[in-house]
Structure 1
C-alpha cells in the first residue's frame, strides 16, 4: 500500500512498542524515528500502550490494550504486549511493520533491544560479564527465556532483525539461532542539538546551585533507571575510593526497588554527603551541562543512549565495553573504556585519571562530540528507511525509493 507523495514513493509504516516517549531506551528510539519518518511524508502509525511528548507530530497512534496481572511486574507488561499487540495490528495493511518488543504477530522488521537471558546470565555469574556461548547457555534465565526468544526471532517470523550492536548480533546468532544474513546492525542515535556542549554555559550554574554544588567541584554524573544492571552500586564503591575533596557524584534516575539499598550503601561507604540522588528528570540534558565527567559502569547493555548523549554534550565518558561501546568508541581517543565494571579499583583509577589530567579531559570532550555527531537520529533514520525500502521493494518490485532530503 504505497502512496505517491512529493518527489517519490512513500510508505505506510507501522511501529509497534509498549511506550513511545522521550524517556527510556526503546521508548526514545520509537519516539525519534517515528517523528522523522512522518516529517519525510511517510504515513506513520504507532501501536503502543501509552505515548507522550508527541503533540504536533503527524503520527497516528493506536492503543494496545491488556488485562491486569497483579504481582507480575515487568512480566505482566511482556505477556500483555506479546498477545495484545498482534491483535491490535491485525486488520490493517502496511508496507512495513516494525516491532520493538516480543509479539506473537509476524513483522517485516524486529529490533532486538536486548536479551533478558544475557542479563540473567550476568546476574547468575555473580554480577560479572560473561560470554555469549557457554556462560549464557548454562544460565537458568536463558533456559526460562529461550522459548520466547527463539519464537520471536524464528526466521519465518520476520524478514530482517535489527541488532543495536555487534554483541547483540552475536547473541542472536548463538542463543536464538537467527541466521546471520538476516541481521542488520544499526546502533542507537542521539540528538546533537538537544545534547550540545553549549548546555554547559546555559545550565551549569543553575543545576549546581539547585543541588548545593560549588563552582569548583568536579562532578561525576550517572544516568540510568535499573541501578543494579547499570552498575550504580559498583560506581558508589569506586567513588568511595576517589579521595579528592572536591569530587562529587550526581545520580539521575529512578529505581524504587533498589534506591533504599543504594542509599544505605552510600551511608556505609561514607560518601552520602558527597553524593546527590536527584531522582528522575525530564531535563537530563541540563545535568550533562552541569557535570565534568560521565561514568556508566553497566553490567549488561545492548547499545545505551546515555554515553552518546554525554559525548554529544561535550562531556568525557568513562564506560564499559559492554554498553555497545566497542562498536562506537575508541579507548583513550573519544572515551575511557574498562573491561570489567565489577573492578571498583579499576573504575576509581579511571575516575582519578580524568579528574587530574586536564589535557585528556579536553581531548575526550572534543573527540567525543565529533564521534557522537556521526550517530545522529537523522542518520539512524536514514539507515532504517533504507532497510524498509529494501524489504518493500522485494515485496512489490515496482516501488521506487522515497525522496531524499533533510528531516
Structure 2
C-alpha cells in the first residue's frame, strides 16, 4: 500500500503496458487474481473479456495459477446448446496465509485468513497496552502472533505477510509508529522489532493506522461495502477515522490524514492524550463516556483498571436497557458530540456514509439517533448531503481484519512474491 493512497475498486479492468516481460507477467497475474477476488468464479473467457487480455494469455496465466494452487476449478458451466463447456475458476490459495493484528489501548486482536478469505484464526485478548510500555507490549504482541501463526500453519496456511494496526500516526513505508498519543509511543520501529521477535525475516511486516485499516475492511466487506465516499470512525478509548474518497483510501501528503479524533471542538475542554485541549475524542471516546457514565471505572493515567472495551460497552448497554437515567444522559451527550464532529467531516468530504465501529456500534441504538439529528442540523448542504450514520457489523475486529486484507491486497498486487518464493503445495 503506497503512501499516496490505495485503490480499493471492486472491479478490475483495462490493459497495462509494462516495460519488461517480468513486469508484464506480474501485472497480468495480478489482473487475473484481482478479477477473481471480486467475483465468486469466472470462466477463462469471462476473465479475458473483463480484463482485455487475449484468451490464450488468460489460459496460460490460469494454468500457472492452477499449478501453484492459487486458483481452483469449480465445476463445469454450459453456455448454450453447442460448443465446449466452460470450466470456471475461483480464487483459492488455501496454503497462503495473511495475518492481521491490532494492538490497542486495552486489547490485542487477531484475524488470520488464507488468500481466498477463509478465516483461520480470529480472537481478541484483553491486555493493558496503555500501562505496559512498548517493550512489554511488543513482547506480548509477538507471543500472540506466534500462537496465531501456529494455528494457521496447522490449518495448512503459511503466513506470507503480517499487517499490524495501531491507533497512531504511522510512517507506513518504514513501519514506524511516529506518535501514538493514547499509548505514549514515539518513533517506535514496530515492523522491524516484531519481525526480529518472530525470527521470520522473509515474512514482511506492515504497519498502518487502525482506522485506515478498518476503513479498508468496511469498504471491502462491511455494511456499506463498495460505497465510494465513506468514512469509518473507531469507537475506542481514542477516536480515529479512515476516509475513502472515490474508492481510494485518503492518506494525505505524508500519510497522516484521518486523525479526526484530534479535531478541536472545545478549546476550553479536557486535555487530550495528544497534549492539546478539547479534541473530539475527549468528547466521544470510550474513556470520555466511561468517565461520565461509570466514573468508578474511569480510565486512569496509569491505564488501570483496564478491561475489554466491548465488555464495558455491554455493561453500559445493560444500564440503558434498564433505563439508567444517568447513563442515558451520558450517551445522549456523546451522541450529540458525535454528530457535531461528523458534520465537520461531511462538510469537508461530502461523504455518503459514516460507519461507526467499536463501542459506537455496540451502543448504536442509543447513540446514533442523537448523532444523526445533530449531523442534519449542522451540515451546510442540509438534506442535499444525504449522509447517514450506520453501525459496523465487523465488531471490534475490523482493524485486524483490515490488516489481513492489506496483506492480501499486496500479495495480489504482486503475486510473484508468493509464486516465486513459496514452493508448490503437495497434491493429495
Shorter-chain TM band: 0.3 to 0.5
Q: Structure 2 length as normaliser, TM-score?
A: 0.34
Q: Structure 1 length as normaliser, TM-score?
A: 0.36
- Higher RCO, 1 or 2 (CA under 8 Å, sep at least 6)? 2
Larger radius of gyration: 2
